[in-house]
Chain A
Amino acid sequence: MPLYRDEAVVLRTQKLGEADRIVTLLSRYRGQIRAVAKGVRRTASKFGSRLEPFMVVDAQFYEGKSLDIVNQVETIGSYGGQIIEDYGAFTAANAMVEAAERLTSEESSPQQYLLLVGALRSLAGKEHDSSLILDSYLLRALAIAGWAPSFDNCARCEAMGPHSAFVMQVGSVVCQNCKPIGAVAISTDTSDLLGALLSGDWDLAETASDQARSSASGIVAAYSQWHIERGLKSMPHVERA
């Protein structure tokens, strides 16, 4: 059986049979991998703890007929322990890995991999408010997937912003003249914050008011649910500060 090796982050685990798990991972070079981890639910398992969600590992797999089999696992980054200490961070991390699972496929996407690992590391290190990290992650993951939103110029006439309306279907702000029915009202503070979260300008993002944060979260949630078919199950459970 052919062997391969890759860096990967664990997105999800599901029980299989008596003591095994099916582990869904996002790898650096091979996209998504679904593999069986044998015996990991027994408390004597050596690598059970390395294959929990949010773990970043260097793993070796056997290629199987339908599912591959995890053969060796070394830890690269262990973020789960710190993330679960903060319930809000735990719920945000759930939404991130679920979004990553839905926005990637078996096709290689090192960008999605690095973005997710960076976001989990940032959550674990409490670098920013967990809600801001989640919103930034979602905007950027959607952008890599081909749905980059825009918060500066009008999508239709390209008039310079700031603008006060956002069109979910287009993923962009629009000016007063181009504004269609059903556009969402957006304040300048909110569009500035969303732009900062998309570009990773944390200095600016950190200065945003609570009101801007909460309306930005609402727009990010709606925008993600719009593009991700059937939505994310985690979203209603995310605890916002």
Chain B
Amino acid sequence: MYEGVIQELIDELGRLPGVGPKSAQRIAFYLLQADADQAKRLAEVLTEVRERVRFCEQCGNVAEAELCNICRDPRRSKASICVVEESKDVQAIERTREFKGLYHVLGGAISPIEGIGPDNLRIKELVSRLADPDIKEVIIATDPNLEGEATATYLTRMLSPMGITISRLASGLPVGGDLEYADEITLGRAFEGRRTVS
């Protein structure tokens, strides 16, 4: 244990995803020894990001206004919605340039063992968006791992009575991985070769 504010910093860093106690300590001492400007910039951007960035009221993606840049863009097609787990998956799919529609960010995947059920994700919001008759297709692009696939099963069962085409990204994305790590070519192909599931 260190004294006062140093320990507080280590504790806060240690609460970040993927950061263990040892890494937290390493980052804390790095910041102490780095030049003062660098630490100050980090503090400022942290404050700013919390003040300025919010979640798009329509799709749940990160946004700096009520709607995100994609939802505001008049060139995007309103006929298809691509459902992803996280905002970072939106970025991964945007890099492929394969998709011209809109997104819906769930905020995670269904994981009962972590206490996350359908009601803890933005699924109700998705269903209300689908009342819009302009929407013809929902593309489910959850992670190609067990929880992502189970979430896709749940969504398919729930949405299929609505009479909208539902498709799932083509396999070729090995099971077990995170969508954000798929390279652009693999992900682009998965989009092109998506299969209709309902």
Question: Which residues of A are at the interface with B, using a C-beta cutoff of 8 A?
Answer: 12, 15-19, 40-45, 47-54, 80-81, 84-87, 90-91, 94-95, 97-98, 233-234, 236-238
A-B contact count (CB 8 A): 85
Taking CB as reference atom, which chain A residue is nearest B190? A43
A-B contacts, 12 of them at CB < 8 A, read A19-B181, A41-B178, A43-B173, A48-B176, A48-B177, A52-B145, A52-B176, A80-B146, A84-B153, A90-B153, A94-B112, A236-B117
Across the interface, which residues of B come within 8 angstroms of A84, CB to CB? 146, 149-150, 153
How far, in angstroms, from A238 to B112 measured CA to CA in the complex? Answer: 8
Across the interface, which residues of B come within 8 angstroms of A40, CB to CB? 176-177
Across the interface, which residues of B come within 8 angstroms of A45, CB to CB? 174, 176-177
A16 touches B175 (CB 8 A): no
Going nearest first, the 8 A-B pairs with the smallest beta carbon separation are A48-B176, A94-B112, A43-B177, A233-B115, A237-B112, A234-B112, A49-B175, A237-B117
B82 within 8 A of A: no
Across the interface, which residues of A come within 8 angstroms of B177, CB to CB? 40-43, 45, 48
With an 8 Å Cβ cutoff, the count of chain B residues facing the other chain is 28
Across the interface, which residues of B come within 8 angstroms of A49, CB to CB? 174-176
**Given A42-B181, A48-B175, CB of A54 within 8 Å of CB of B146:** yes
Cβ of A228 to closest chain B Cβ, rounded Å: 13
How far, in angstroms, from A205 to B40 measured CA to CA in the complex? Answer: 66
How far, in angstroms, from A169 to B149 measured CA to CA in the complex? Answer: 39
B18 within 8 A of A: yes
Cβ of A172 to closest chain B Cβ, rounded Å: 29
How far, in angstroms, from A19 to B179 measured CA to CA in the complex? Answer: 12
Most buried by B among A18, A94, A97: A94
How far, in angstroms, from A209 to B77 measured CA to CA in the complex? Answer: 51
Q: A48-B145, A233-B115 are in contact. List 9 more A-B contacts (CB 8 A).
A: A15-B17, A41-B178, A44-B174, A49-B175, A52-B145, A54-B146, A94-B111, A98-B113, A237-B116
How far, in angstroms, from A233 to B110 measured CA to CA in the complex? Answer: 13
How far, in angstroms, from A56 to B175 measured CA to CA in the complex? Answer: 15
B144 within 8 A of A: yes
Taking CB as reference atom, which chain A residue is nearest B117? A237
B114 within 8 A of A: yes
B30 within 8 A of A: no
